[in-house]
Structure 1
Amino acid sequence: MTTECHMEQEDKVSPVLTALMVSCILIAVGWVLHPFLLPIVWGATISVTFWPLVLRLQSCLFGSRAAAVFFTVLAALLVFFLPVALIFLIFAQHVKDISHFMTILPSWQLPAVPVWVGHIPHVGGRIVAFWDHMRENSLPGLVKQIVPPPEKLFAVFLSSAGSLGSLLVEFGLTLIAMVLFLTHAERIIDLLVRISSRLGGDAGRLFLHRAETTTRGVALGVTLTAIIESLFGWLGLMAADMPMGSVIAAVMFVSCVLQFGGAWVLFVSTVWLYFTAPLMHASIMLCFALIAVANDNFLQAFIIRRYVKISVVVIMLGAFGGIATLGFAGVFIGPTLLYLAETLVREWAGGTTGENLKQEHPS
């Protein structure tokens, strides 16, 4: 009897000790791989995003996985890395213009409000009063407090440029990680499926599928929206003859990635052109800005909802937190983690059943 009780206790303790041992090993592995964590995460994100493309290319290239991975890496360079490289190049080429603009901006005064604004029913008088207040007092002082001195901005830029070597190393490691993930994708997928099945059965596999589709949807939605909107804004800026149009388009791209949208950049450009250029230029810019408003509210949601139903709030919070912790890759990882956490809470609370998940993501 005593022996049987002792064996039962060992049977209960053994899984706990095994779990502790596995956890310690995983923590040690994470500690060892910590210097390479960002390239691994970034490479895994891009690999998940382009995995369907690899399969299509492999079928078209007579079953050659190497050729499919090669062309997929080229596609990833065009979609994810080329825009970032262009932004760095644009800012580097216009650093003197940006420094000069930052120097004169604090002393710039708003021009007098147009006469027709005061004739707008109900709100014209308030707009004129607010505009005059900003023109006389608030705007120059506010700009001086918000905008850092040009010397400081230039120093920050030089420090960023000084780390260009480390950025290139991370870029190379990301490509290596991506090639390894895509080359051995079936083994990795099989391992993840077995782990998820071991942990959660059918629900675990469905949860893994949801993580895949969410990552792909967010990555494509955020990146393609930023590229399309910034290119569209650049065309409008060139058509309206806006000074430093390429720099403003780069700012528009960054704003779209950070989930602020690009329409506000074009509206600010419209106001600038209204007071500094012929009316026709401001009218052209206004047309592009109005179209950009529609793009902000439609394009990204359209792309992402082809893969997953995720709210704008989750995307924004995840993007802000992700980019603060993981850099640019966190823009995609953050919303995915928040959405998966939201899904787990809803399922635990009974808001989503396993049958709902099967209908949403059929196997």
Structure 2
Amino acid sequence: MVTSRQPRDVAQILLSVLFLAIMIIACLWIVRPFILGFAWAGTVVVATWPLLLRLQKLLFGRRTLAVLVMTLLLFLVFIIPIALLVNSLVDTSGPVIRGITSGEMTVPDLAWLNSIPLVGAKLYSGWHSLLEMGGSAIMAKVRPYVGTTTTWFIAQAANIGHFMMHCTLMLLFSALLYWRGEQVAHGVRHFATRLAGTRGDAAVLLAAQAVRAVALGVVVTALVQAVLGGIGLAITGVPYATILTVIMILTCLIQLGPLLVLIPCIIWLYWSGDTTWGTVLLVWSCVVGTMDNVIRPMLIRMGADLPLILILSGVIGGLIAFGMIGLFIGPVLLAVTWRLFSAWVHEIPAPATDPDVVLHELEDKNKQ
């Protein structure tokens, strides 16, 4: 018996797909203001979930008390320092931006070069020879680009209203995720299993591991090192300590460490004759610079074994795409994608190390 196949209703399929696409786009458009805050909160909750469970045990198994303590810790340790840091950065950078954009920026004379033994006078004369050959004209050409670039970076930090809104959303979503974390995790795993079966569930678990590795092994370590380094700069009287702290956060996030900022400050203190505070900052820098070797193993057992270019791209790309929040979300997104891609590639055995063997096998198959 031959059964005739019913023709597919192409119009129905296209309209169904179109309707689903419209519904998905509409839902994403509605929740668009909350996406960054929720992503930030998800990163924080996944990274600090073991700490919540430990607090819950100490607080007689009361989830409500543990959620309140964790939310308060996030507010005191995470939100307030970042908000004050951004606000201070904007206030400190205001005169610099006005000087650049108003055209009052001039080439420095660098008279202090004369005080360098042996080569100081030669360096000073060489610098002024460069100025006479057109250094001022070069500065005039470079100034618009410097002003535009600097203004863009400050505008990213100056958008305090949006930043504080995302901070508030992060706190709210973090509290909700702490409260119903098990249900949310089960729902996400169920959805992933519906999409791709066991492989989808494994992808969610690998993503959670990558989030925890980056958040604890990279972001928290960078914040601790930069904040402690900034405290050392402020105590020793180094000017523009806030801006230097922001730079240290960036250098620590891209795994260059805080010494890239601290060493020039130590040299400046010794050069200015303040040897006492220079020695203090030197000792403090030795502690801060090696702190990641102690903090990172304490935060995660196996560390954040991620390529340097991945972290660097996540930090810079996240800053450009999402602003200050992108410093934390960018590396996490790239790390999750890299972890999932690596797991997918390693599902099959690696190719033979000798390319000649592969070519001979291909030739044998073609002859057959």
TM tier, smaller: 0.7 to 0.9
1:330 counterpart letter in structure 2: G
1:57 is aligned to 55
TM-score, normalised to structure 1, is 0.72
Contact 1:57 / 1:68 at 8 angstroms: preserved in 2? Answer: yes
Alpha-carbon offset, residue 208 of structure 1: 1.0
Contact 2:56 / 2:66 at 8 angstroms: preserved in 1? Answer: yes
Equivalents in 2 of 1:177, 1:105: separation in Å? 49
Secondary structure at the aligned position of 2:305 is classed as coil
Correspondence 1:191-270 to 2 at 5 A: 191-238=187-234, 240-257=236-253, 261-270=257-266
2:269 is aligned to 273
Q: Are 2:316 and 1:320 aligned?
A: yes
Deviations 1:52-97, CA, capped at 9 Å, x for gaps:
2222222332333222211111122233212212213433665678
Q: RMSD of the TM alignment (CA)?
A: 4.6
Alpha-carbon offset, residue 30 of structure 1: 0.9
Equivalents in 1 of 2:238, 2:25: separation in Å? 53
Equivalents in 2 of 1:218, 1:128: separation in Å? 50
Contact 1:227 / 1:253 at 8 angstroms: preserved in 2? Answer: yes
Higher gyration radius (CA): 2
Contact 1:211 / 1:340 at 8 angstroms: preserved in 2? Answer: yes
Equivalents in 2 of 1:201, 1:154: separation in Å? 49
2:337 counterpart letter in structure 1: A
Contact 2:270 / 2:278 at 8 angstroms: preserved in 1? Answer: yes
Contact 1:109 / 1:135 at 8 angstroms: preserved in 2? Answer: no
Q: Are 2:182 and 1:181 aligned?
A: no
Deviations 1:192-216, CA, capped at 9 Å, x for gaps:
1112223333332222112112212
Equivalents in 2 of 1:46, 1:23: separation in Å? 30
Q: 1:339 to 1:252 in 2, by over 3 A?
A: closer
Structure 1 vs Structure 2: percent identity of aligned residues? 24
TM-score, normalised to structure 2, is 0.71
Greater mean deviation of Cα atoms: 32-41 or 82-91:
82-91
Equivalents in 2 of 1:279, 1:147: separation in Å? 39
Alpha-carbon offset, residue 148 of structure 1: 8.1
Secondary structure at the aligned position of 2:238 is classed as coil
1:35 is aligned to 33
Q: 1:6 to 1:174 in 2, by over 3 A?
A: same
Alpha-carbon offset, residue 246 of structure 1: 4.9
1:111 counterpart letter in structure 2: W
1:30 counterpart letter in structure 2: L
Which of these residues, 76, 79, 92, is aligned with residue 77 of structure 2?
79
Which of these residues, 305, 309, 334, is aligned with residue 309 of structure 1?
305
Equivalents in 2 of 1:238, 1:176: separation in Å? 33
Aligned residues: 342
Q: 1:54 to 1:134 in 2, by over 3 A?
A: farther
Contact 2:156 / 2:323 at 8 angstroms: preserved in 1? Answer: no
Equivalents in 2 of 1:28, 1:148: separation in Å? 39
1:122 is aligned to none
